[in-house]
Structure 1
Amino acid sequence: MTKQLIDSFTYPQANYIAGVDEVGRGPLCGDVVTAAVILDPSKPISGLNDSKKLTEKRRNQLFEVIKNNALSWSIGRASVEEIDRLNILHATMLAMQRAVKGLSIQPDFVLVDGNRCPDFGVASQAVVKGDSLVAEISAASILAKVTRDREMEELDKRYPQYGLAKHKGYPTKQHLEAIQQYGINQYYRTSFAPIKAILNKHKNSI
């Protein structure tokens, strides 16, 4: 069900290809969220693309279409505690492994957005800009982004002072100013430089 594979792709004929992508490596708070998707060749989904290139309305529409038509899909994540303990790269790899492990169908090949793959126990290949090139990865990027964005919107209801519904936890000027004013809570990644700097500044002022 791959949609536009570049010539350098070399992988065996596979019955079930899973696409994997992540959302949330850059934000200052919240889990890093991943998704794995095996599409159904008999139910092609039109309009798949890198989730960042789609409107929020279109992402939400495709989110339901993908869940209803994929052969299998799964969401994986790594917690803030795991991000701080392992570092964001290793936490992301762990979240990807969890997403693939959560599939109801075992894939025999995995395509991952980016330039590296964790060990899935099956053959895999990293695809730079894969969320724009491979339908399975596009679908995974949409599921991961909608899932994480909705979690940030829910968190915003509990902590409206940070503006999480707007910036989704990324280090915008507004977000950094809110952290300076209100401090942080348990959802913040204390290993990230901007948070560490604010904590150190606070510590030194006491």
Structure 2
Amino acid sequence: MAEPRQKPDFSREYEAHRAGEVPVAGVDEVGRGPWAGPVVACAVVLDPARVPVGLDDSKRLSAAQRERLFEEICASADVSLAFAPPLRIDGHNIRQATLWALARAVAGLACTPRLVLVDGNDLPPVPCAARTIIGGDGLVASIAAASIVAKVTRDRLMGALGAAHPGYGFERHMGYGTPEHQQALAALGVCRHHRTSFAPIRTRLAETPTA
């Protein structure tokens, strides 16, 4: 019988607290892979006395679970968001745009962190100690919280873009390169929220006018 999967916990934050590294921020981003819309980065400093129950990698949660946790995180933690729009992604490349957004999210926190815990293996340029943790959104409570807030925020934004640009289906595929999105591009062409540096969009842009 398989062992139960470990859920994110606050142990790394507690370890940092004991070492005098307070506050501790967890950071994560959503939206590196889509063909449209921004990268959304989030930094979260959780209150040790009010760590929400049920935190997990946002991809492992249902939409209803994410929405509930989003409200609880925003009501109990120091939360900061930053957005890297398609213009920045196209002008700097997706990696640099993502690191820029992560750094901006950290800079927007009400309390300057002493330590930043980052999901993945790439450090953003932050003016404090920072550590990367591969799979951090499934291990570290603060990173899991950041992943949830970033995911809910981006999903809501893509829903709004879907309403503003009917026919693309942004509210369903969130900008990813699904068959529905490909068909919409063939029918409608490229809109200003697409990432023109991404090969499928660059190819389509050469074939169709901009919407």
TM-score by length of 2: 0.90
For residue 172 of structure 1, report the CA deviation from its aligned partner: 0.4
Match of 2:56 among 42, 49, 52: 49
Q: Mapping of 1:75-86 within 5 angstroms?
A: 75-86=81-92
**Counterpart residue identity of residue 146, structure 2:** A
For residue 3 of structure 1, report the CA deviation from its aligned partner: 2.8
Number of the residue aligned with 1:59: 66
Residue 80 of structure 2 aligns to a residue whose secondary structure is: strand
Residue 161 of structure 1 aligns to a residue whose secondary structure is: coil
**Counterpart residue identity of residue 158, structure 2:** M
Number of the residue aligned with 1:158: 164
**Structure 2 CA distance for aligned equivalents of residues 153 and 106 of structure 1:** 32
**Structure 1 CA distance for aligned equivalents of residues 119 and 20 of structure 2:** 20
Residue 167 of structure 2 aligns to a residue whose secondary structure is: helix
Match of 1:87 among 74, 77, 93: 93
Match of 1:181 among 179, 187, 191: 187
Number of the residue aligned with 1:139: 145
Q: Give unmatched runs, 5+ long, in structure 1.
A: none
Match of 1:73 among 75, 79, 85: 79
> C-alpha root-mean-square deviation of aligned residues, in Å?
1.7
Residue 163 of structure 2 aligns to a residue whose secondary structure is: helix
**Structure 2 CA distance for aligned equivalents of residues 111 and 18 of structure 1:** 6
Number of the residue aligned with 1:22: 29
Deviations 1:12-48 (A, max 9, x none): 5411110000001011111110000000011121100
Q: Indicate conservation of the 8 Å contact 1:163/1:175, yes or no.
A: yes
Number of the residue aligned with 2:5: none
Q: Indicate conservation of the 8 Å contact 1:4/1:133, yes or no.
A: no
Q: Indicate conservation of the 8 Å contact 1:20/1:136, yes or no.
A: yes
Q: Give unmatched runs, 5+ long, in structure 2.
A: 1-7
Number of the residue aligned with 1:117: 123
**Structure 2 CA distance for aligned equivalents of residues 183 and 200 of structure 1:** 10
For residue 116 of structure 1, report the CA deviation from its aligned partner: 0.9
Match of 1:192 among 198, 201, 209: 198
**Structure 2 CA distance for aligned equivalents of residues 3 and 131 of structure 1:** 12
Q: Indicate conservation of the 8 Å contact 1:20/1:111, yes or no.
A: yes
